[in-house]
Amino acid sequence: MSDPVGHQGPAASGPASAGGSPEAPENAEYRVAHLQERLAAEELGELGVRAEFRAGAVAVTGTVPSARCRETVLRLAREELAGLTVHTDVVVAETDRPDHAEELW
């Protein structure tokens, strides 16, 4: 699943610095780091969501324990990465019982 949470290109948040990454607009790397800090520090305590630059956008991926957690991840990504193109692939952990066992002998 992919939910674009922002459609503005990198130019919307200012020109890339001369020495910066060709993919990331100025200071965008730090904003990604701040997103991960907020995911861990705020109500989620979430360390299992990854955010990284892919093809000029930020890809936010991972598995979270509930639908509410997923909504919170998407909200924090919108807030922290406003103006950047963000693609999310955040899924809720599956809770079905297994349909078979693994034999170990």
Partner 1 sequence: MVIRVAAVGDIHMGPDSQGLLRPAFETLPDCADLLLLAGDLTRHGTPEEARVVAREVRGLPVPVVAVLGNHDHHDERPETVTSILREAGVRVLEGEGTVVECAGGKVGIAGTKGFGGGFVGRSAGEFGEPVMKEFVRTTRRSADSLHAALKGLDEEGCAARVALTHFSPVADTLAGEPPEIHPFLGSYLLAEAIDTAGADLAVHGHAHMGAEHGMTAGGVRVRNVAQPVIRRAFNVYRLGAA
Contacting residues for 12 by C-beta, under 8 A, at least 6 apart: 83
Of residues 11 and 47, the one with the C-beta less far from partner 1: 47
Q: Which of residues 61-90 bind partner 1 (CB under 8 A)?
A: 62-69
Of residues 10 and 76, the one with the C-beta less far from partner 1: 76
If we measure between CA atoms, which residue out of 30, 49, 46, 39 comes closest to residue 88?
49
Which range, of 14-22, 28-36, 44-52, 74-82, touches partner 1 by CB under 8 A?
Answer: 44-52
What is the C-alpha to C-alpha distance for residues 24 and 15, in angstroms, rounded to an integer? 10
Residue 93 lies near partner 1 (rule: CB under 8 A): yes
Residue 29 lies near partner 1 (rule: CB under 8 A): no
Residue 16 lies near partner 1 (rule: CB under 8 A): no
Cα 13 from chain centroid? 18
